[in-house]
Amino acid sequence: MIPYKNNQNRDDIDQIIKHLPFSFDGQRVLITGVAGFLGSWLAESILTMGGTVIGIDNFASGTIQAVEHLKSVGNDQFTFLNHDISKSIDFVSPVDCVMHLASRASPFEFVPYPIQIMKSNTLGTMNALGIAKRHGARFLFTSTSEIYGEAQLFPTPETYRGNVNVLGIRGCYDEAKRAGEALCMAYFRQHEIDVRIARIFNTYGPRMRADGLYGRVIPRFMDQALHGKSITIFGDGTQTRSFCYVTDQIEGLLRLCTIPAARGEVVNLGNPMEITIQELADHIIHITHSKSSCVFEPLPPDDPTRRVPDITKARELLEWSPRISLKSGLRRVCDSLKFQGDE
Ligand SMILES: NC(=O)c1ccc[n+]([C@@H]2O[C@H](COP(=O)([O-])OP(=O)(O)OC[C@H]3O[C@@H](n4cnc5c(N)ncnc54)[C@H](O)[C@@H]3O)[C@@H](O)[C@H]2O)c1
């Protein structure tokens, strides 16, 4: 597992903040899934900007290390509730914004935990929307590029309606996120909740878990390369993905949940630079100076052939586009892992 360290990624946090045309000073933000990869980066950015964060997590895939350091970053402006958001919650503290991230997100988790995933994105989304409704707060839902399924249009715009196998093993995630989006729009139309939906494409960065079920492709390859193990590619490596560095993603999410024109909108957030999984493995072997070689295992069912976002809407509505190249982002991940090795 990749641990969290105080101020280890302070340059990255500064990078996010310096590009934002607003601050969170005095804002009270509720983040579900705060002990996960993106939740922890969001919380740290908001606390650094002077906001107050109330974090909820049940440690399904998150870690205590992700929240431990936030108290010191936020000068006690951080509080934490250990709670499963798919269960009802009597939440009384006033908040200005609710960011609903709570959901297992690694494809390896789809097999053992499909019901938890569906509950987090349906019942959990309803519970989180209920809190936003009670307090008149803005609401950010973290949806996914997975709602496009095996897309047939590239780069894929928000208007593409998707090609999902409802009954397949990825259905629990894809369809739960689609239901979560529909719930957001229902609350937007019926209760005029100020909702904003992010369709997040593969995002990576320091602090992402590399272990077991939780290891998504970049931390897993990086961990294998750094330890001289074989790099496991599922399929023949010709499938493509587009990888967004975490500071770019967090800047996009903060813009989406703040900019007034984004009310009621769904926006793709990702880096449109598309590469094959084989090319990704080659980059990681090169950057880590590893002697590892690749081994090939069967592709899981319904693994998408291509993933590349059309980010025209994000460019126009949020004045956002990614700044960090894949090579630079991979080097930062590699450096952060080496730094931890030095501890
Ligand atoms: N990182 C990506 O590339 C990516 C891509 C698309 C969408 N997303 C979405 O962004 C969100 C955050 O993803 P991440 O990469 O940080 O994943 P993560 O697994 O690191 O974080 C998810 C967090 O949610 C918590 N959680 C899960 N179920 C919960 C529940 N019922 N109640 C309370 N807490 C719960 C987990 O313990 C974990 O801390 C997820 O909703 C995910 O679907 C992420």
Counting every residue written for the chain, the total comes to: 343
Q: What pLDDT is recorded for position 337?
A: 82
Alpha carbon separation from 59 to 11, 63, 128, 178 (Å, rounded): 27, 6, 17, 24
CATH superfamily label, 10-204+244-272+306-325:
NAD(P)-binding Rossmann-like Domain (3.40.50.720)
Atom of ligand 1 nearest to the CA of 63: 39
Q: Of 1, 117, 4, 19, nearest to 69 (Cα)?
A: 4
Residues 62 and 33: beta-carbon distance below 8 Å: yes
Atom of ligand 1 nearest to the CA of 119: 31
Q: Does any ligand 1 atom lie closer than 6 A to the CB of residue 32?
A: yes
Tokens of 188: 């937007």
pTM: 0.97
Ligand 1 atom 35 nearest Cα = 102
The full set of domain ranges for the chain reads: 10-204+244-272+306-325
Ligand 1 center from residue 31 Cα (angstroms): 11
Atom of ligand 1 nearest to the CA of 124: 31
Tokens of 85: 């958001």
- Cβ count near 278 (within 10 Å): 18
Q: What is the dihedral sign for C-alpha 1, 276, 203, 166?
A: negative
Cα separation of 168 and 186, whole Å?
Answer: 26
Q: Does any ligand 1 atom lie closer than 6 A to the CB of residue 86?
A: yes
Ligand 1 center from residue 36 Cα (angstroms): 6
Residues 86 and 113: beta-carbon distance below 8 Å: no
Cα separation of 14 and 19, whole Å?
Answer: 9
Provide φ and ψ at 337, rounded to 5°: -70, -40
Proportion of the chain in helix, strand, coil states, percent, rounded to 5: 40, 15, 40
Cα separation of 101 and 47, whole Å?
Answer: 17
Q: Does any ligand 1 atom lie closer than 6 A to the CB of residue 122?
A: no
Helix (H, G, I), strand (E, B) or coil at 28: strand
Catalytic residue numbers? 173
Q: What pLDDT is recorded for position 339?
A: 62
Cα separation of 261 and 259, whole Å?
Answer: 6
Q: Does any ligand 1 atom lie closer than 6 A to the CB of residue 37?
A: yes
Q: Does any ligand 1 atom lie closer than 6 A to the CB of residue 125?
A: no
Q: Does any ligand 1 atom lie closer than 6 A to the CB of residue 127?
A: no
Residues 21 and 85: beta-carbon distance below 8 Å: no
Q: Which of 31, 44, 103 to mutate to test the pocket of ligand 1 (most atoms within 8 A of CB)?
A: 103
Ligand 1 atom 41 nearest Cα = 101
pLDDT tens digit at each of 343 positions of the chain: 334 454 568 899 999 999 999 999 999 999 999 999 999 999 999 999 999 999 999 999 999 999 998 988 767 899 999 999 999 998 778 999 999 999 999 999 999 999 999 999 999 999 999 999 999 999 999 999 999 999 999 999 999 999 999 999 999 999 999 999 999 999 999 999 999 999 999 999 999 999 999 999 999 999 999 999 999 999 999 999 999 999 999 999 999 999 999 999 999 999 999 999 999 999 999 999 999 999 999 999 999 999 999 999 999 999 999 999 999 999 999 998 876 654 4
Cα separation of 213 and 171, whole Å?
Answer: 18
Q: Which residue has the tokens 């982002």?
A: 329
Q: What is the dihedral sign for C-alpha 242, 243, 248, 253?
A: positive
- Nearest 5°: the CA angle 335, 339, 343 is 170
